[in-house]
Amino acid sequence: MEEKVKAEALQIIGAFDVLPKLVVFDLDYTLWPFYCECRSKREMPSLYPHAKGILLALKEKGIDVAIASRSPTADIATAFLNKLSLSSMFVAQEIYSSWTHKTDHFQRIHSRTGVPFNSMLFFDDENRNIQAVSKMGVTSILVDNGVHLGSLREGLTQFSRNWNASQKNKQKWLSKYSNKPDTSNSAA
């Protein structure tokens, strides 16, 4: 299953010209089907069926991944990531309780990685987090039953649209305020 999902995810990613530099995931009900605070560290957790294949495909394509979780039990979340052999995949793990709907998490991720908000893609199961993080310029996708190939496709499609719109606005601004056109077109 994991290899099949990874192969499909690689095909989906390969269909896009513009890709995010960083994909950020929530944990509870996004990568796995439970709340950490309702579980014990002794348990063996499981991911949603497509989650690991998607993570592996993103890494293979050179796209960094990070975590933004408001879990009040960071110790359990971290233990589960270790048990699932996932910890080393993430360039940033911001796991702590917060009232800011994850804007603090994203400020820290940005500080740690240097990736601009408009070069990030975010998956979460809570609309309030999606709304708050979207306002920062991050392409944010609401997931119902965890992250899956359909949500990956939706996220990359939306990221492309947002990126292309921002480039058009940049071109308009440059042509209005400068004499020479901008020829850069990378997500850097």
* Cβ-based neighbour number of residue 106 at 10 Å: 26
DSSP 89-126: GEEEEEE---SSTTHHHHHHHHHHH---GGGEEEEES-
Distance from C-alpha of 44 to C-alpha of 176, rounded to nearest angstrom = 58
CA distances from 161 to 164, 168, 172, 176, 177 (A): 5, 11, 17, 23, 24
Q: Which two tokens stand for residue 149?
A: 């190939």
Name the catalytic one among 28, 64, 124, 125: 28
Name the catalytic one among 17, 26, 64, 124: 26
* Cβ-based neighbour number of residue 164 at 10 Å: 13
User: Is-catalytic flag, 26?
Assistant: yes
Positive or negative, the CA dihedral 117, 77, 89, 17 is negative
User: Is-catalytic flag, 104?
Assistant: no
The catalytic site residues sit at: 26, 28
